């Protein structure tokens, strides 16, 4: 493991923290998406979309810091798959459709990806 600067360590910790926060956001959506969904559901989804944009912007920096292309490239491809799945939210016109999309596809894929990413970051963020 090469020596990272304090700024790079901070970036990796923030990235890992954002993943955890997004997981909590998805959990909220899973619990609250129903016919009488609270108005926060749309806001939480919008926040997750914004967080995905932040991750997307940070991915190149992450790849440069860690310099492990063989490990990072598949994770970046999986990330893009999650982004593509999330765009289907706007195509779903029913609560059931959105619920199914989240519970059966987006959340399980995101959680698997988050776990893999956390394992990659763990040596850098668990101090």
What's the pTM?
A: 0.91
Q: What is the pLDDT of residues 4-40, one digit of tens each?
A: 899 999 999 999 999 999 999 999 999 988 877 788 8
Q: What is the pLDDT of residues 54-79, one digit of tens each?
A: 999 999 999 999 988 899 999 999 99
**Rounded to 5 degrees, what are φ and ψ at 44?**
-65, -45
Check if the beta carbon of residue 89 is closer than 8 Å to that of residue 45.
yes
Check if the beta carbon of residue 85 is closer than 8 Å to that of residue 109.
yes
């Amino acid at each position: 493991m090469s020596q990272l600067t304090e700024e790079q360590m901070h970036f990796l910790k923030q990235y890992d923290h954002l993943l955890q926060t997004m997981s909590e956001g998805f959990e909220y959506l899973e619990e609250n998406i129903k016919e009488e969904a609270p108005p926060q559901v749309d806001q939480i989804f919008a926040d997750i979309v914004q967080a995905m944009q932040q991750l997307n912007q940070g991915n190149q920096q992450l790849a440069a810091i860690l310099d492990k292309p063989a490990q990072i490239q598949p994770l970046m491809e999986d990330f893009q798959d999650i982004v593509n799945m999330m765009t289907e939210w706007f195509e779903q016109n029913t609560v059931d459709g959105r619920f199914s999309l989240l519970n059966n596809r987006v959340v399980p894929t995101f959680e698997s990806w988050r776990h893999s990413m956390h394992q990659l970051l763990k040596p850098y963020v668990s101090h």
